[in-house]
Structure 1
Amino acid sequence: MTVTAVLVSHDGERWLPRVLAGLARQTRRPDATWAVDTGSADASPALLRDAVGADRLLVEAPTTPYAAAVRAALDADAATTGADGDDWIWLLHDDSAPAPDALEALLAAAERYPDASLLTPKLREWPSLRRLLEIGVTVSGTAKRETGLERGEYDQGQHDRVREVLAGNTAGLLVRRRVLDEIGLDPALGVFAADLDLGWRAAHAGLRTLAVPAAVVFHAEAAHRGQRTGPWTARPRRAERTGQIRTVLANCSPAALPFVYLRLVLGTLLRALGFLLVRAPGDAWDEAAAALGVGLRPWRVVASRRRRRRTRTVSAREVRPLLPSLWLPYRRGWDSLGDLVSELWHLAREGLARRSQERSWAWGLVAGVALLAAAALAGRDLLAGALTGGVVAGGALLPAPADVGTWWSAIGQQPVAAWLLPAAAVATLLLGSPGLLVHLVLVLAVPLATFAALRFFRQLLGPGVAWWAALAYGLTLGVSGAVGSGQLGTLVAGIVLPLLGRSALGMLPFAAPEQRRRAVWRVAAWLALTTAFAPSAWLLAVLVTLVALGIGLRHGAVRAVLPVLVPVVMTPLLLLPWVGTRLETPGLLLLEAGLPTPYAGLDALEVLTGRVGDGAPAWWGLGIAVAALVVLLRADTRVYVAWCWAFGGLALVLAGVLTRVAVTVPGTGETLVPTPTYPLLVAQAALICAAALGGDGARRQITGASFGWRQPVAAVIVLGAVASPLAAAVWWVSGQATEDLRIDPRDPVPAYMTQISQAQDGYDVLVLHPVDESGVGWTVRRGAGVRLGLESAALATPYDTGTARAVVDLLTDGGPDAVGALVAQGVGYVYAAPPAPRRVVATLDATSGLAPASAPQRRAAAWQLEGAGTAERPHERVPELPWLLLGQGLAVVAVVVLAAPGRRSASTETETAR
């Protein structure tokens, strides 16, 4: 039998010498050898010319696909020697080196199995020579090439059995000429997946493909590993996935086409998400681009299916045994997930084993457990309330909704605050309970802030001083008054602040370039999260950025500090729905999470010690401030301490500016000055950092000097610095930090009113509550009332002066016109909370249009308005909100991917191994 070898090359100089040597050493030499070079820029044409002769070398354009190159060689061979359909064509790549007996083994199988039309050898990895790559291939319903081999499996003869397969790699494939003439390789598939398509179409034509393990070819997989240049291999993964997807869509049965198409779309999204999770954004983009490239050009798939119909003689059911199981991709995905979890578990065990041998880790574990126990003791009232189903509220903190669905619904429909999205995500993980999230933040604020600060200070200080600084910072958060006043935004921002600072350390000039690049995006992520809860954090970042740019301009290193602009610019994009819906009321951008906290004035001592509410006595924190001031005298750390003072001073400047800004709240019609809690907390953190930097290593200097006045003074300062957090700890553990919060499991409004208001329009409840002996306050409550997270939308809604006038008229004159006005505004009930003022009750009892209603609580009163339920509740929509959410989602994904460490590509790993 006659054999013609066809070798196609493109910039294959590094592999061709061994490939040509393998051809020359064949125990059964090909009868003719043709070489096709597709525009190589290296020495490949010269190597081929010397090996096969100038008359057997064809030179084609660089854009020539593999199928066209093979066809050119076959046409030239037919014109020279004549064509016989029973002749064999041996296809080779410029990176596939055959073993000396490869062709002989293939021809022996051809004689033994005369009904076979395609014979594929065993492919081993080059350069390892022992790892198996393929012994025949197939393709799954998710368009993934399947070899049936384990990753990195070594050849030990375990697969040495001739068997029928769907297809074989063209790197060593022996195929009858008539198959290539009548079926042929598809030029539209380029380099990748052409072999899969050829084998699949041959099977549909009733032809057999056999795997012959006795024949061995060593394959470098240059195109797959990204080691080959050229128009067909510029993005190897994208090209490979495009070819595989087109192959599956072109060859599957007509009945299965819709299912396969849907499966590929969903599978592509899941794989792209998986690549993002394992920090491979390039692979994720290639996966998505490949699917889009095929899906947006359905006419190409239709044309391919029409061409394949001409050669199909057997049904898809007969070919089905050559395809893998429907569940194979998912079983492999599950196995991969299991392997990943197992690997992470082993790494965690090894890390714990190493840490357990360190004395500092053991003491740290003990300290952590003690801190959590102290937090449970300090928040015992809150924990007891959580166990009994109580709702915590007070100060800036509103009662949390019953389930997280309320938050998710509001996010998609209303202009809510930016912090609600991350809070809803975390609450979903906490059994869908926003109330549990609130309780945990209030109780664990100090431990969480301490652990976060410990990660920051360990980068700068020794273990002892780092623990002091972390505890001082965490306890400052507990005694500042933020817990008792329900300032959820300040608490969360305070927990995140050390993490933001730790990421910012990675942006310093001495860090590695890759570390600095990731640090920039991590700072952007942390800054956006902090800004969502405490918007003044972004203003402080702007000030720091301006200072950094000024320093860079002064020293002629502007380009070195330009990356600091990225977090400042990205933060509004990451909070796009909140920013976009507040453009008409920009003053609301300054309000932290929860109800607005008006600035009541702070003295210098409270500012210096970070007291933002009714917390521990301010003078208890003087020890830290004095220590931060005295350490300026130490010459070797003075520069770093001065930077801390400068940063704290910048925060205090911002706090002073914010106290001069008045914000008009549309929902209440009031104008107030919000308390600058976050800048004051940052200033206190800067003082703690200054004291810690100046105190680290000071013991060695003082004890090494001769005894004098320095030692007693240092002892007093250290005693004061230690006494401040110690006193704070005692105050915090005593439970005084949470005593201003109220925990009430009961709803003051009767349940039937709440249920009717939730179910029907026009049954809002006008709630009257006593303010003092002569005054009455009022609110209009819809459904369960304004809950935590929804107050931001209510505050952005313009104040209804019509309802206010109607309420005043009702309480003063008791006229029927006031009742009609309230009905028109959607009010259906009036409820006077206990103790209901007698004067008010008497006035409303005498008002026509009000009918007495049930008031279960003692000393309460209730009325129903005649005509209730006739007003339709306005359902305001923000038409641009879905687009803003989409933009935010894309920005979040981009920042998370860029902030995560990169993953080395397979080609890089291969080159490193070599």
Structure 2
Amino acid sequence: MSVHSQSTAPYAAAAAPEFPRHVVTAVLVSHDGARWLPDVLAGLLGQERPVQDVVAADTGSADDSARLVTEALGAERVLHLARRTSFGTAVDEAVRTVGELTPDDLPYLKRPSGWDPVTRSWRDDAYDLPELPHGEPVQWLWLLHDDCAPEPDALAEMLRVVDTDHHAAIVGPKLRGWYDRRQLLEVGVSIANSGRRWTGLDRREQDQGQHDQVRTVLSVSSAGMLIRRDVWEELGGFDRRLPLMRDDVDLCWRAHAAGHRVLVAPDAILRHAEASARERRPIDCAGRFVASPHRVDKAGAVYTMLVNARGKMLPWVLLRLVLGTLLRTLAYLVGKVPGQALDEVAGLFGTLLRPGRIFAARRRRGSGVVDPAELRGLFPPPGATVRATFEQVAGNFGSGSDADSGGSRHGAVESGPGGDDADFLEIEQFARLKRIGRKPGPVLFAVLLLVSLVACRDLLGGGALAGGALLPAPADVSDLWGRYADGWHPIGTGGTQTAPPYLAVLSALSALFLGSTGFALTLLLVCSVPLAGLTAYFVSRPLLESRLLRAWASIAYAFLPAATGALATGRLGTAVLAILLPLIARAAVSAYGIRHGGYARGSWRATWAYTLLLTLTMAFTPVVWPLAVVLGIGVLALRRDEITAYGLRFLATIGTPLLVLAPWSVSLLGNPSSFLKEAGLEFGTGTASALDLLGISPGGPKAAGGLLLLGIVLAALAALMRGERRFAVRAAWVVALVALVFAGLTNGSGWAGPATLVYGIALIVAALVGADGARVRVAELSFGWRQPVAALIALAAVLAPALAAAGWMIGGAAGPLERRDPVQVPAFVAEESSTRDQPRTLVLDGTSPASVSYALVRGSGARLGDAELAESGGSNSHLDKVVANLVAGSGADQGSQLSGFAIRYVLVRDGAPREMSRVLDATPGLSRLSQLDGSALWRVDRQIARIMIVPPGAGSEQLPVGSQPVEAHSKIPAGGSGRVLRIADAADSGWQATLNGRALTGKTVDGWAQGFELPAEGGSLDLTYETPITHTAWIWAQAALGVVLLVLALPGRRREIDDDLPEESVTVPAEPVAGEGRRARRLRAAAQAEAAAEDDGEDGEQLPEEEGEYDPARQTTDPYAQQPDDGDPYAPQGETQDPYAPQGDDGRYASVPQQQQYGDWDAQQYRNADYAQYQGEQQPTAADPYQQGAAPVYDPYGYPQQQYDQGQGQYDQGQGQYDQNQGQYEQGLYNPYEQGAYDPQAQYDQQAPYDPQHPDENPAPVQNPWPTGNASRGESE
């Protein structure tokens, strides 16, 4: 029968249901939902308060959805629409084809006739009743998805709410998970300004009644939404521009604006599978192709916000949407899910690029009758979405899953011992210490931090960290970044040399601490020892499980002489290497697939992590790059069978740092000796002896001698004698020997600290592997020389780091490094250097008159990075000649030569030869000013400025021009022709000058300085340095490469785990426990009993002796899986797989899932079964009679209601057979609410179906459950 066919069957009289005034029409939309429809239809047809009418719309389902709804509801009540029909369109079509039921269609709404069939007389009391005793009927639409199953009392609870609150126009239920029936999905929903769907629930939050309050909400889900029909028609239904998602939020938002109320009824419960959102089926209604749910949801969110936001809030909403989309796109890219990043962008611009639709929708909505301020409380509170975002990010990038940490997905958490377990509790006085011993990582870091703070007591306080190899850091992070990114560096006479890349890394770190460069330096230096120990502890986990040995190894590594010596001498590069070296070693091992037992397959993510760490470390200590090259070549030699795969990894690891750090890295290749240097000044080179290097000591201040750590070396040598795990020990020794060679090479020209760090960590790894289980192995040997020697080596190895830590803590960490004023010149000189003249200071130092060093200082002194910039820029030969003449004491006036370099002051450091001061005193044009802390200061007796106007005559007076450190914007007077604008900076093509907007011609002055030809006129002078576009482009490219490398190295976003799946039961066998206590004896007995049971099971399988006995071997997580030999007429004949499991070979969900075939069911067995009133929670394996093609339909209002009799209609629990002596219906008095009543305490007997031999006890098959008529015109008879 088609949906448009005419039926002449009369609608029988019916008893009044609960809440009779409310007439409910259920609208069910199906689309490839055959796997959920059995439960959905069972819930719909099994409502305690049935609906008055129902209509279904199937949108081109490719499975059995259309057949299921047709068999359950009748062909005349099913619409067949196109596959691309949206949910809102399907509901509109269904509502249009079904008419409103009037009192003529529902006789119980009218006044009774007054005829009493018992007394066969007329009763007069009926005449006093009004024509409509229950009041004017209220028409409702109950919208249902094909994946949401209502509980039996869901409709009754929602009608109870609307019957109490007459202003309610839309009511929604509480949504729970499909399988996890205690998991809350929604109890009302809202939307944030960023478009985020907001439920106010935590992930996997369990329903404990915490949200069971009827309240006003912004929106309820369209799954189970109960809406007044007049309100539906007033609002025009769902917006056709929202094909699937966010249509409910838009509809309810419009209802609020129109003055209606939207409530949530938490006592009404629906189970929702969220099939489209969880990608359990494709979305075909959002375009010509299958769409991603993320993109559909994003587009719906943007559209909903833009069309419903009030006028003055629209710009703010648009800005929030764009910025939020940008941030989420970046987050998805970092999480390595480019598909969702593309969905974010496509969803946003797919809506914004159609402004006509947005403006048309805003015109249709109008201004509304409700003040938007009244709805403010229905939106998420400020900051709530930010907190949820951080929690989501933490969860996405977390290393563990919730399932791992939280146990079973649906399982309960044991709150504590009870019953018998309480008898075995012990009161342990040292429980807290034992808990600390199980997780010593944080405690270890705290101890190391305390030791470090005590040792660095003189390095804490005011001032800047400086001394040794460290120069003071700039006060502002922008200044530090400028020293790296600027095209012109005002160091000495200026230049365009390449800045060291560690400045960029330090700038990024300082930005994390609100731009405090001093705090970033303090963190890297003062906390380098505890941070090194912490990283060493955590990366040692794969080596062995003993926390005690790992703690010893981390302490020994943290107090290596190279680490403490780097802190004392301000060697920033070695300090950073000490922190990152354990991470580098761990990443390298994973990248090359090296395991202690041999080889494994390396991962590309570990390769990129190794590359990122190597790049960061190379920026501070370049020596790690040649070390990585040599060791990588050795690994390739070992893995020559897979040379192609690991050759690519090697090239990526070695080539990427050179690319990212170019052109600085290219300069290292041109001068290989530069690889042996590190960040900062050259300080204390070649001080370690051969014994020091063998004893892991690079020498220098605060670096313990080599003899102290010989115990670690001996322990590493003893590890070579171990029979097992030889590969790990030998690999560690190969690394140690290579690093020792590099240490010897470095010791001649620089500090061997970085190489000795690698040497030391390799020896510690060898000793650590050798110590694992050493006590047991030594104890198994007969007593001899091995035991005393092993004890002495162990004692020396343990005492070495302890003594090093004690000596470092007592003596203090301060050495050349100290806290002091960063100003390196007298205060008034520093103040004067920042004026418009920009004067400079020549600082002289040396050990003898024949060996003099100098520095041209700008401002208050040199800062971090200036040493490398000055070295790479080279010296100025003209300035070398001026300084040589000045120190030599030629007797000539040196003022003119010094003024050419803008030198106003000459400072001689304390410790310089006395002859130098006597020469300067006798030099004409210099005036001695003062002597402070052994340093003497002279002033040049001339007009000094960085920019001067030089007239054409030789004897004419020069005119100073105000300027900044690089640029100048000043007024200059008119003068004669032939003037030259002279700048005391090196000549370069990037200098540009304009006078009144006209470009000036550049020239080189005095063979090195930049100059410009000035016309006779005066005006506004603008001097700038134009950074080459290639330099700026490469800085951006470096930043982009760094971000890409970071993204590749970070762990990917965790795959979204569907947390509403069938629970897999995992049986954990009992294990015997050593000990003689009562609890240990009990556990051993349980383990023995299980072992005996397994032995019996091997001889022969034990089957249940009685019907219905639980057999774990016969259970499955699939509620529709076949139970062997149990006679279940609803089990499919064959498949027992998880209905939500991937259907395709590629592990993804198929577009059309496999469905159980109704033709295989035993229809004859349940031919006359009818629907029983459901009084408990729905069971997934419950028999659903409507699924049978021959199942009769019923009329819920065709018979008078009778009270439920607890003594009738039940199954006999003992035999599992229906008791024919009880529950017999009188002939002609069929009660659909009594037959087959569900008893939650009774045992379901699958072998005892309804007796087909008594058809007279079952309802007639011609009964129809719904009033029939022409659905297209809404007629009924």
Aligning the two structures, in what range does the TM-score lie when normalised by the shorter sequence? 0.7 to 0.9
Q: How does 1:53-452 map to 2 (within 5 A)?
A: 57-58=78-79, 60=81, 62-73=83-94, 89-100=141-152, 118-129=170-181, 133-134=185-186, 136-146=188-198, 152=205, 154=207, 156=209, 159=212, 161=214, 169=222, 171-174=224-227, 176=229, 179=232, 183-205=236-258, 209=262, 216-231=269-284, 235-267=292-324, 282=337, 286=340, 289-290=343-344, 293-294=347-348, 298-312=352-366, 314-315=368-369, 317-318=370-371, 320-324=373-377, 328-331=381-384, 356-357=433-434, 375=452, 379=455, 383-384=457-458, 386-387=460-461, 389=463, 391-394=465-468, 396-402=469-475, 406-410=479-483, 413=486, 416-424=499-507, 434=517, 438=521, 445-452=528-535
Q: Which position in structure 2 is the counterpart of 1:905?
A: 1056
Quickly say closer, same or farther: Cα 1:360–1:295, change in 2 above 3 A. same
Report deviation, 1:248: 0.9
Quickly say closer, same or farther: Cα 1:43–1:571, change in 2 above 3 A. farther
Give, in whole Å, the separation in 2 of the partners of 1:792 and 1:550. Answer: 37
The one-letter code matched in structure 1 to 2:696 is G
SS at match of 1:257: helix
Give, in whole Å, the separation in 2 of the partners of 1:641 and 1:136. Answer: 61
Give, in whole Å, the separation in 2 of the partners of 1:522 and 1:748. Answer: 41
| Aligned match for 2:716, one of 623, 628, 634 | 628
Indicate the larger mover: 457-466 or 366-375: 366-375
Q: Which position in structure 2 is the counterpart of 1:891?
A: 1044
Q: Which position in structure 2 is the counterpart of 1:787?
A: 863
SS at match of 2:906: strand
Report deviation, 1:515: 11
Quickly say closer, same or farther: Cα 1:833–1:541, change in 2 above 3 A. closer
1:552 and 2:639 correspond: yes
| Aligned match for 1:648, one of 736, 748, 752 | 736
Quickly say closer, same or farther: Cα 1:188–1:540, change in 2 above 3 A. farther
For normalisation by structure 1, the TM-score amounts to 0.80
Q: Deviations over 1:56-83 (max 9, x none)?
A: 55555554433344445456669xx9xx
Report deviation, 1:778: 1.2
Q: Deviations over 1:5-55 (max 9, x none)?
A: 4432222121111222333345544545132224x4433233234335556
Report deviation, 1:194: 1.0
SS at match of 2:560: helix
Q: Which position in structure 2 is the counterpart of 1:18?
A: 39
Report deviation, 1:135: 5.5
Quickly say closer, same or farther: Cα 1:740–1:906, change in 2 above 3 A. closer
Report deviation, 1:594: 1.3
Is residue 568–residue 817 contact of structure 2 (8 Å, CA) maintained in 1?
Answer: yes
Quickly say closer, same or farther: Cα 1:73–1:821, change in 2 above 3 A. farther
The one-letter code matched in structure 2 to 1:243 is G
Is residue 658–residue 666 contact of structure 2 (8 Å, CA) maintained in 1?
Answer: no
Indicate the larger mover: 778-787 or 96-105: 96-105
SS at match of 1:680: helix
Larger radius of gyration: 2
Report deviation, 1:879: 1.6
1:530 and 2:631 correspond: no
Is residue 848–residue 913 contact of structure 2 (8 Å, CA) maintained in 1?
Answer: no
Q: Which position in structure 1 is the counterpart of 2:1033?
A: 880
SS at match of 1:8: strand
SS at match of 2:698: coil
Give, in whole Å, the separation in 2 of the partners of 1:91 and 1:412. Answer: 61
| Aligned residue pairs, count | 877
Report deviation, 1:527: 3.6
SS at match of 2:727: helix
SS at match of 2:845: strand
SS at match of 1:357: helix
1:497 and 2:581 correspond: yes
Is residue 89–residue 177 contact of structure 1 (8 Å, CA) maintained in 2?
Answer: no
Report deviation, 1:705: 2.9
Q: Which position in structure 1 is the counterpart of 2:559?
A: 475
| Aligned match for 1:806, one of 857, 882, 885 | 882
SS at match of 1:633: coil
Quickly say closer, same or farther: Cα 1:780–1:225, change in 2 above 3 A. same
RMSD: 5.0
SS at match of 1:769: strand
Quickly say closer, same or farther: Cα 1:215–1:459, change in 2 above 3 A. closer
Give, in whole Å, the separation in 2 of the partners of 1:724 and 1:702. Answer: 22
Q: How does 1:587-736 map to 2 (within 5 A)?
A: 590=675, 591-596=677-682, 600=686, 604-614=690-700, 615-652=703-740, 675=751, 677-711=753-787, 714=790, 717=793, 721=797, 728=804, 732=808, 735=811
Q: Which position in structure 2 is the counterpart of 1:669?
A: none
The one-letter code matched in structure 2 to 1:419 is Y
Give, in whole Å, the separation in 1 of the partners of 2:435 and 2:267. Answer: 56
Give, in whole Å, the separation in 2 of the partners of 1:648 and 1:354. Answer: 41
Give, in whole Å, the separation in 2 of the partners of 1:163 and 1:736. Answer: 66
Is residue 5–residue 33 contact of structure 1 (8 Å, CA) maintained in 2?
Answer: yes
Is residue 417–residue 789 contact of structure 1 (8 Å, CA) maintained in 2?
Answer: yes
Q: Deviations over 1:553-585 (max 9, x none)?
A: 32x596589767766566567xx4x43555466
SS at match of 2:315: helix
Give, in whole Å, the separation in 2 of the partners of 1:98 and 1:327. Answer: 28
Q: Which position in structure 2 is the counterpart of 1:750?
A: 826
Q: Deviations over 1:524-543 (max 9, x none)?
A: 55444433332332433344
Quickly say closer, same or farther: Cα 1:206–1:440, change in 2 above 3 A. closer
Indicate the larger mover: 13-22 or 760-769: 760-769
Q: Which position in structure 1 is the counterpart of 2:626?
A: 539
Q: Which runs of 5+ in 1 are unaligned?
A: 660-671
Give, in whole Å, the separation in 1 of the partners of 2:752 and 2:475. Answer: 31
Is residue 162–residue 213 contact of structure 1 (8 Å, CA) maintained in 2?
Answer: no
Is residue 441–residue 534 contact of structure 2 (8 Å, CA) maintained in 1?
Answer: no
Q: Which runs of 5+ in 2 are unaligned?
A: 1-21, 103-137, 399-404, 406-415, 417-428, 488-497, 948-962, 968-1024, 1065-1116, 1118-1277
Give, in whole Å, the separation in 2 of the partners of 1:624 and 1:658. Answer: 23
Report deviation, 1:780: 0.4
Give, in whole Å, the separation in 1 of the partners of 2:632 and 2:163. Answer: 77
SS at match of 1:863: strand
Give, in whole Å, the separation in 1 of the partners of 2:649 and 2:820. Answer: 49
Indicate the larger mover: 301-310 or 1-10: 1-10
The one-letter code matched in structure 2 to 1:383 is R
Q: Deviations over 1:148-204 (max 9, x none)?
A: 777736375975648585565254443537845973423332311011122333444
Quickly say closer, same or farther: Cα 1:218–1:699, change in 2 above 3 A. closer
SS at match of 2:764: helix
Give, in whole Å, the separation in 2 of the partners of 1:762 and 1:892. Answer: 41
Is residue 853–residue 863 contact of structure 1 (8 Å, CA) maintained in 2?
Answer: yes
Give, in whole Å, the separation in 2 of the partners of 1:595 and 1:543. Answer: 27
Give, in whole Å, the separation in 2 of the partners of 1:786 and 1:653. Answer: 35
SS at match of 2:470: coil
Quickly say closer, same or farther: Cα 1:496–1:149, change in 2 above 3 A. closer
The one-letter code matched in structure 1 to 2:679 is A
| Aligned match for 2:939, one of 834, 839, 863 | 863
Give, in whole Å, the separation in 1 of the partners of 2:892 and 2:966. Answer: 24
